[in-house]
Amino acid sequence: MEYYPVINQQGEFNKGVTEYFISNGEPKEASDFFKYEREMYPDNINVFALKWINKIINQVDTKEIIQSEIKSDLQEIDQINTELSNKSVIYFIGYYLMGDTTNYEKELLNIVNYKNIPILNNYFIADFFHSILAMNKTPEEIGQDSTFVNILINNPESRLSETIFNSGQIFDYYPPNSNKATIVINLIDNKLSKNIPLNISEQLAYILYSSFSADTRQREKAISITNDLLSLLYQEKDFCERNASPTTIDPLNHFSLKKSSLYNFATLLFFNTDSIEKGLKLQNYIISRTKPDDDDYLESVLYKARFFQKAQMYDSMLVWYAKSYKLSSSKRNLKRIKKYLSEIINLEDEEYIQLFDTIIRTNQIPESFHIYNGLDITTPDSGKVNLKSGKYLLEFYSKNCTFCKANLKSLNKYSDDFFRNNNLKVLIVTNIEKSQYTKEFSTYNFPYEVVANSREIISFFNVQLFPVTIYIDNNVVKKRIDGGNKNGIALEEILK
């Protein structure tokens, strides 16, 4: 069954939620159905919540009439002998619909302490319950909500847990690379320990979350299961292609896979460098099965950009982020892109927009823009240098190079305040021996550090002749100057 949230982020009740009373658009008949069920099963309190949800969503009565009915129903429920945990959930929903904040918060505290609550195995009630807990909260806020976490942990086999996995929301609530990942691993391990079969979504989640584990054996197991599932998917895909017809089952639907789960599945393959080609193949397959006017299309493009980011294929990454921005230039989408890219570079909104516009217009990365993707730079004083934050001038220097000396002399003209105000750090990359550093550079007063692993950096940047000046701003190579002259370099020109 597909998962549809009952309440959207605006606090409005979505229509088209449950087969019982929404799909046919017959609220009166649905109300009769609940009345008959109530007579047939007098100890079944589930029907009360289903009746309330039906009336609220379909606006069968005014809000005041419905709330009055709920108040009367709660008194009747109080007399029914049934599971206390079930009653707590029903009370919680009833108090919520009545706007009784004090009592529904009190019931929520009771619910946290119950395990394996039977009523949360009802799709519609679990769905509605989840929507209330998630309303007006970001995925990050939900993942940090200890109440929500405890309810999920205490009900690992419930429909509540199942819908969160099947919808792919589990990845948003508890990012696999966060300290919350153990929550999901423990949740699934609990099912495995009881020999309860996992559905495809849970298998995918287990693979993905295990892959971030520091335990090498667990990661290897994740890769093994990944390849098995991927083979299964491709077998089904090949079958569909060989037997193509209007009624051919798409493997995405056949395995009841949400595309969001598949996106994460494809990204996972980066943990095995031999699988990058497979991961790219799967990404292309996902996009080929998603139409541009599909709600999922933007997500598929974003995940492909993330795919290249994980593979450190940064030019391709920028192209696909630009495509996602072209699909949606909303502030929300730009915020998401910035969040992902902040792992590598930090730019202002306007800089991102200008970069993406240029890529879209020219279909190529600007020559002046290159993300540094090389060796770690270390210095004797600072240790490892973090190029993701700040401005760095890499000055490639050779002992007997006249123009190299001219460059350093020109830097010597700038005051300490100039470097400090521009947040600029100078790193001298040289081929001379470490023992000669002091003698060679003692006459220069500007703030600088000599790179300890200079030979590796010289090789990485393919420096054949000296001098070379490279300006890096927040991990982005903004300018490279090969060669020099007797006048040295002008920092004002480089920094502008």
Structure confidence by residue, pLDDT tens digits, 66-85? 889 889 888 888 888 888 99
Q: Pseudo-torsion of CA 229, 230, 236, 239, nearest 10°?
A: -140
In a domain, 167, yes or no: no
Q: What is the mean pLDDT of the chain?
A: 77
Task: Tell me, yes or no, whether 218 lies in a domain.
Answer: no
> So what's the pLDDT on residue 329?
86
pLDDT value at position 474?
84
Confidence band for 21, pLDDT divided at 50, 70 and 90: very low
Beta carbons of 170 and 227 less than 8 angstroms apart: no
Q: Does residue 346 form part of some domain?
A: yes
User: Are residues 319 and 359 in contact, defined by beta-carbon separation less than 8 angstroms?
Assistant: yes
Q: State the CB neighbour count (10 A cutoff) for residue 482.
A: 14
Neighbours of 310 (CB within 10 A): 18
Element housing 384 (H / E): strand 383-385
Q: How many CB atoms lie within 10 A of CB 294?
A: 12
Instruction: Examine the domain organization and report whether 355 and 407 are in the same domain.
Output: no
Residue 270 CB neighbour total at 10 angstroms = 18
Residue 348 has pLDDT above 80, yes or no: yes
pLDDT at 50: 77
Give yes or no: residues 319 and 418 share one domain.
no
With a cut of 50, say whether residue 126 has pLDDT above it: yes
CATH of the domain at 488: 3.40.30.10
Same domain, 121 and 71: yes
pLDDT digits (tens, 9 = 90+) for 417-433: 999 999 999 999 998 88
Q: Check: CB of residue 157 under 8 Å from CB of residue 196.
A: yes
Per-residue pLDDT tens over the stretch 255-283: 445 555 555 555 555 544 455 666 666 66
Q: Are residues 276 and 330 in the same domain?
A: yes
Q: Are 359 and 444 in contact (CB under 8 A)?
A: no
Residue 261: phi and psi, rounded to 5, are -65, -40
Distance CA 126, CA 112 (A): 14
The domain that holds 305 is classified in CATH as: 1.25.40
pLDDT, residue 18, reads 39
Q: What is the pLDDT of residue 484?
A: 87
pLDDT of 409 over the 80 cut: yes
Percentage of the chain modeled with pLDDT above 70: 72
Q: What is the pLDDT of residue 427?
A: 94
For residue 436, CA distances in Å to 92, 412, 440, 441 come to 75, 20, 6, 9
Asked if 343 contacts 308 with a C-beta cutoff of 8 angstroms, the reply is: no
**How many domains is the chain partitioned into structurally?**
3
Q: What pLDDT is stored for residue 273 in this prediction? A: 47
Tokens of 172: 């948003």
What pLDDT score does 399 carry?
Answer: 85
CA distance 467 to 482: 6
77 lies in some domain: yes
Q: What pLDDT shows up at residue 20? A: 43
| pLDDT at site 295 | 60
Longest dimension (CA), the chain: 99
Same domain, 21 and 81: yes
pLDDT-derived band at 396, boundaries 50, 70, 90: very high
CB 361 within 8 A of CB 395: no
pLDDT mean over 54-60:
71
Which of the pair, 174 or 216, is modelled with greater confidence? Answer: 174
Summarize the confidence of residues 286-305 as an average pLDDT.
Answer: 72
40: exposed, middle or buried (Cβ count in 10 Å: 0-12, 13-18, 19+): exposed
The residue from 136, 156, 179 where one domain ends is 136
Instruction: Please tell me whether residues 38 and 125 are part of one structural domain.
Output: yes
- DSSP-derived secondary structure letter, 434: G
pLDDT at 457 over 90: no
274 and 413 in a common domain? no
The encoded tokens of residue 213 equal: 């584990």
As given in the structure block, the two tokens for residue 346 are 């930090």
Q: Answer whether residue 198 is part of any domain.
A: no
More confident residue, 191 or 100: 100
pLDDT bracket for residue 250 (50, 70, 90): very low
312 token code pair: 């450190």
Measure the CA–CA gap between 296 and 364, rounded to whole angstroms: 26
Residue 266, domain member (yes or no) = yes
Is 147 among the domain residues? no
DSSP string, 206-241: HHHHHHT-S-HHHHHHHHHHHHHHHHHHHHHHHHHH
Which of 7-16, 184-193, 374-383 is the least confident region? 7-16
Instruction: Classify residue 203: in a domain, yes or no.
Output: no
Q: What is the pTM of this model?
A: 0.50
Q: What does DSSP assign to residue 8?
A: -
23 — pLDDT class (breaks 50, 70, 90): very low
User: What local confidence, expressed as pLDDT, does residue 12 receive?
Assistant: 45
Q: Can you tell me the distance from the alpha carbon of 86 to that of 5, in angstroms, rounded to the nearest whole number?
A: 21
Contact 468, 407 (CB under 8 A): no
> Domain end: 352, 371, 390, which one?
371
Is there a single domain that holds both residue 39 and residue 83? yes
Judge if 356 and 442 occupy the same domain: no
Q: Which pLDDT belongs to residue 66?
A: 84
The answer on 441 and 325 residing in a single domain is no
Say if residue 235 is in the same domain as residue 330.
yes
Residue after which a domain boundary falls, among 136, 156, 178: 136
Give residue 166's pLDDT. 72
Is there a single domain that holds both residue 131 and residue 234? no
Give the domain extent around 322: 223-371
Beta-bridge mates of residue 397: 430
Average pLDDT of the residues in 231-239: 57
